[in-house]
């Protein structure tokens, strides 16, 4: 029983696929300071999203991870769905343990994920990433890039700073780039973060930005609590690094194009 030619194996929870109406696909991959992953983990929890499928790949690290109860599991990505509980907006939400280990496998996994999205006629794809600056900020800005001019135009009213150069490597970039070839559209939102800590504050900011676009409201309490914990952690780190609290950066005017001075991953 070999995996498909791409080395990828999708295992659905059920033979019956759920009915979804024009769902958005939201991807929060591990890596990138976990900015995207924390955001989608919180979204899955608050929406009580249901498990759709697990994705296994010969390109994930060849190992099993052992849980606290002693059970061993392969590395995988997972897709969840939400179709009506909290809003008319339907969502497919992807997260996971790992990104693929080779560049070629990243392309193949992106294709497979978009194949699953296409089964449900998903048209609008979002990836959540980190904009790493090496500096701690009080109010993380949200940066954006997209496959279509219409989406770029909408950034200003959403307080998203449009990027004007650079690149986005890995799954966060490939998923939207390949979506464009398939006639879908893709948006990558990047939360400003130092890169030194797991930053729940940046996750909260990016999630608020996303929810505003897709028209969903959820309880942010747990994430806000994690955000405050992160704020205290940042202050502790800053004091250790420099002996004093760093001044916050002056925020750029929302909507203005941001020059690409940061590091995206």
| Residues making contact with a copy of itself (CB under 8 A) | 1-3, 5-7, 9, 11, 56, 58-59, 61-74, 101, 103-104, 106-108, 111, 114-115, 118, 144-149, 152, 155, 162-170, 173-174, 176-178, 180-182, 186, 188, 257, 260
How near is the Cβ of 240 to a copy of itself at its closest, in Å?
Answer: 27
**Quick one: 102 or 239, whose CB is closer to a copy of itself?**
102
Tokens of 155: 């950034």
Q: How wide is the angle at C-alpha 114 spanned by C-alphas 113 and 119, nearest 5°?
A: 105
Please name the helix (run of DSSP H) or strand (run of DSSP E) that holds residue 17, with its range, or none. Answer: none
Least separation in angstroms between residue 259's CB and a copy of itself is 11
Q: Least distance to a copy of itself from the beta carbon of 135, Å? A: 21
Distance from the first to the final alpha carbon of the chain: 35
Which is nearer to a copy of itself, 89 or 257 (by Cβ)?
A: 257
25, 17, 22, 81: which is closest to 48 by C-alpha?
A: 81
- Dihedral of CA atoms 177, 179, 185, 190 in degrees, nearest 10, equals -50
Cβ-proximal residues to 176 (8 Å cutoff; 6+ apart), any chain? 125, 127, 145, 146, 147, 186, 187, 188
* Shortest CB 50 distance to a copy of itself, Å: 20
Complex with a copy of itself: residue 123 or 162, whichever CB lies closer? 162
Q: What is the 3-state secondary structure (H, E, C) of 87-155?
A: CCCEEEEEEECCCCCCHHHHHHHHHHHHHHHHHCCCCEEEEEEEEECCCCCCCCCEEEEECCHHHHHHC
Closest approach of a copy of itself to the CB of residue 170, in Å: 6
**Token couple for 177:** 């780039």
Pick the closer one to a copy of itself by CB: 203 or 265. Answer: 265
Nearer to a copy of itself, 119 or 228 (CB): 119
Tell me how far, at minimum, the Cβ of 61 lies from a copy of itself, in Å: 7
Give the HSE-up count for residue 21: Cα atoms under 13 Å, Cβ half-sphere: 5
Rank residues 235 and 252 by Cβ distance to a copy of itself and give the closer one.
Answer: 252
Secondary element (H or E) of residue 260: none
Cβ at position 139, least distance to a copy of itself in Å: 22
State the Cα angle at 79 between 76 and 81, rounded to 5°.
160
176 or 227: CB nearest a copy of itself:
176
């Amino acid at each position: 029983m070999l995996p498909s030619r791409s080395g990828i194996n999708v295992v659905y929870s059920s033979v019956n696929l759920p009915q979804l109406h024009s769902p958005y696909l939201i991807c929060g991959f591990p890596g990138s300071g976990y900015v995207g992953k924390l955001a989608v983990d919180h979204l899955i929890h608050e929406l009580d999203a249901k498990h759709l499928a697990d994705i296994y790949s010969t390109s994930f690290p060849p190992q099993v991870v052992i849980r606290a109860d002693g059970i061993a599991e392969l590395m995988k990505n997972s897709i969840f769905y939400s179709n009506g509980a909290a809003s008319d907006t339907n969502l497919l939400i992807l997260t996971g343990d790992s990104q693929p280990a080779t560049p070629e496998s990243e392309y193949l996994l992106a294709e497979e994920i978009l194949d699953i999205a296409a089964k449900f006629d998903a048209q609008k794809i979002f990836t959540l990433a980190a904009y790493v600056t090496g500096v701690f900020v009080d109010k993380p800005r949200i940066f954006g890039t997209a496959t279509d001019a219409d989406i770029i135009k909408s950034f200003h009213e959403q307080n998203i700073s449009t990027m004007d150069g650079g690149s986005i490597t890995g799954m966060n970039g490939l998923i939207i780039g390949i979506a464009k070839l398939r006639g879908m559209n893709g948006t990558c939102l990047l939360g400003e973060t130092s890169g030194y800590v797991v930053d729940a504050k940046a996750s909260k900011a990016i999630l608020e930005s996303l929810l505003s676009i897709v028209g969903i409201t959820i309880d942010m309490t747990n994430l806000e609590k994690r955000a405050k914990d992160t704020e205290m952690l940042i202050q502790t780190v800053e004091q250790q690094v420099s002996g004093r609290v760093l001044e916050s950066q002056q925020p750029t005017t929302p909507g203005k194009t941001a020059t690409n001075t940061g590091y995206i991953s």
